[in-house]
Amino acid sequence: MTRVDDIADKLRRSERITGDEALVMWREAPLWLLGELAVAAKRRVSGDKVYYNRNFHVEPTNLCVFNCRFCSYRRPKGSPEAWDYSLEDIERIVRSHAGSGATEIHIVGGVHPDHDIYYYAEMIRRVKALMPGAAIKAFTAIELSYMIRKAGLPTREGLQLLVDAGMESIPGGGAEIFDEELRARICPEKGSTAEWFDIHRTAHRMGLKSNATILYGHIETLEHRVDHLLRLRALQDETGGFNAFIPLKYRNYGNSMSAIGEVSVVEDMRMLAMSRLVLDNVPHIKAYWVMYGKQTAEMALGFGADDIDGTIDDSTKIYSMAGADDKRPRITMAEIEEMARNAGMRAVERDTFYNEITR
């Protein structure tokens, strides 16, 4: 028996693998084996289901106090491509999605230099008032940490203020790469790994659910990826608060790391499968179709993903600005159903908390 065979058997018995074992699989296991193991692990959690929701994004601004090297979205103040919506603009955006049946509104943007936490609480209140039936998933841990620190509040109090306004869960962005040395190279000014974990740990202890991400396919090594996954697995052991993990592929258009290029689709599939296999305690692995494109997201269902995110309704620019093919991303429920069928699975509409929705 080779080392790969041994580890594969461990995974078939649903045993946890170590970081070293993960590295062996990542480097040496054939793609078909990773697919087989990851789909078996996925089926133990979600059977033949492929989850999606009806959602849209609100991106209040692309001004940002930070200047991450991989970001294609940020613009400096005064740029003709900068936007900075007022609360009334945001209300207009939300109203434009009335009747879409959305059950989730994902609010995320740049870290604005001037707005404070009370402004964001008011934003959430206004959005919630317009669509009380939709759950608000708002602000990356980096945005949250910045606004809470600026207000001089302890983390729990800051989060509570936003929860009282109507925030119901936290998206996974801002994680990038947890390794401190690498983080300092790709996003030197950005909120730290410790801040990201403080927000998610505190949120989980308050009973909030959140997601987690990794930005992969740039200058990181496999060791960095495994380290990232292990740090998330440890917090999940402690709190159980993560709903989903979303590997985000570095897209290289229009940012200062463009020369690096993008990793192959095979690398994407290995990333998805290894996420499923290492994160044995995170129920959902999301193949974010806006970032991968619809065809790659469909293929991801054969590598351990059980969620493709939502209908989006042409509401996000982060990925089109970074080079994603779909410049006006939207997907219908019929398309999602076909994707699931093509992968031998069944599309299931869910809410933010993975309750199934039957209409």
Q: What residues make contact with ligand V47 under the rule CB under 6 A? A: 70-72, 140, 171-174, 176, 211, 213, 215, 246, 248, 250-251, 255, 288, 309, 318, 322
| DSSP SS3 for 322 | coil
Minimum CB–partner distance for residue 160 and ligand V47 (Å): 21
Minimum CB–partner distance for residue 73 and ligand V47 (Å): 6
Q: What is the rounded distance in angstroms from the CA atom of residue 359 to the CA atom of residue 357? A: 6
Q: Which is nearer to ligand V47, 121 or 215 (CB)?
A: 215
Q: What is the rounded distance in angstroms from the CA atom of residue 41 to the CA atom of residue 196? A: 28
Nearest to 345 by CA among 143, 109, 46: 46
Minimum CB–partner distance for residue 13 and ligand V47 (Å): 31
Minimum CB–partner distance for residue 271 and ligand V47 (Å): 13
Our CA angle for 301, 353, 140, nearest 5°, is 85
Minimum CB–partner distance for residue 252 and ligand V47 (Å): 7
Q: Which is nearer to ligand V47, 21 or 145 (CB)?
A: 145
Q: What is the rounded distance in angstroms from the CA atom of residue 216 to the CA atom of residue 224? A: 9
Angstrom CA distances, 100 to 43, 192, 316, stand at 31, 37, 16
Residue with the CB atom nearest ligand V47 in the bound state: 173
Minimum CB–partner distance for residue 215 and ligand V47 (Å): 4
Q: Which is nearer to ligand V47, 215 or 274 (CB)?
A: 215
Minimum CB–partner distance for residue 31 and ligand V47 (Å): 22
Q: What tokens appear for 262 in the block?
A: 């993008």
Amino acid (one-letter) located at 349: E
Q: Which is nearer to ligand V47, 42 or 317 (CB)?
A: 317
Tokens 């740039």 correspond to what residue? 218
Q: Which is nearer to ligand V47, 148 or 175 (CB)?
A: 175
Q: Which is nearer to ligand V47, 11 or 224 (CB)?
A: 224
Q: Which is nearer to ligand V47, 41 or 141 (CB)?
A: 141
Angstrom CA distances, 257 to 62, 72, 262, stand at 19, 10, 10
Angstrom CA distances, 148 to 55, 66, 239, 279, stand at 26, 16, 22, 29
Nearest to 307 by CA among 324, 282, 329, 330: 282
